[in-house]
């Protein structure tokens, strides 16, 4: 049996992104898809299994990633404030001679 082909709207609903985002990512080569009838301007369709495989290849910090670490920190860095006492003001008066 042939796997059904999805529209950009169908795939967008599954991925929870807009159809235009799906098409943009397809044009950039980020998502695998097909242009029906092999002509420019023809409708674009997607196979869910191929998209899932592509998405799986993007996985970070999970099983099978070879220990790859996410480029995004998981927590915000802690910033400590160092308070310093202000230096004592210098006396501006005259000196006794």
Q: Which residue has the tokens 């420019």?
A: 40
Q: What is the CA radius of gyration of the chain?
A: 29
DSSP H/E element including 56? helix 48-57
Q: Output the six-digit token pair for 77.
A: 């860095």
Residue 88's pLDDT is 59
Residue 71's pLDDT is 55
Q: Output the six-digit token pair for 12.
A: 């967008």
Residue 80's pLDDT is 46
pTM above 0.85? no
Residue 41's pLDDT is 86
Closest by CA position to 44, among listed 65, 75, 21, 15 = 21
Residue 97's pLDDT is 47
Residue numbers of the chain with a pLDDT score lower than 50: 73-78, 80-81, 83, 97
Closest by CA position to 33, among listed 94, 73, 95, 15 = 15
Question: How far is residue 50's CA from residue 6's CA, in Å, rounded to a whole number?
Answer: 11
């Amino acid at each position: 049996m042939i796997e059904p082909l999805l529209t950009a709207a169908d795939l967008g609903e599954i991925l929870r992104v807009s159809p235009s985002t799906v098409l943009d990512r397809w044009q950039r080569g980020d998502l695998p898809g097909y242009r029906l009838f092999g002509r420019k301007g023809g409708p674009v369709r997607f196979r869910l299994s191929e998209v899932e495989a592509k998405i799986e290849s993007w996985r970070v910090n999970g099983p099978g990633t070879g220990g790859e670490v996410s480029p995004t920190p998981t927590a915000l860095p802690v910033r400590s404030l160092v308070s310093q006492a202000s230096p004592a003001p210098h006396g501006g008066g005259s000196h006794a001679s």
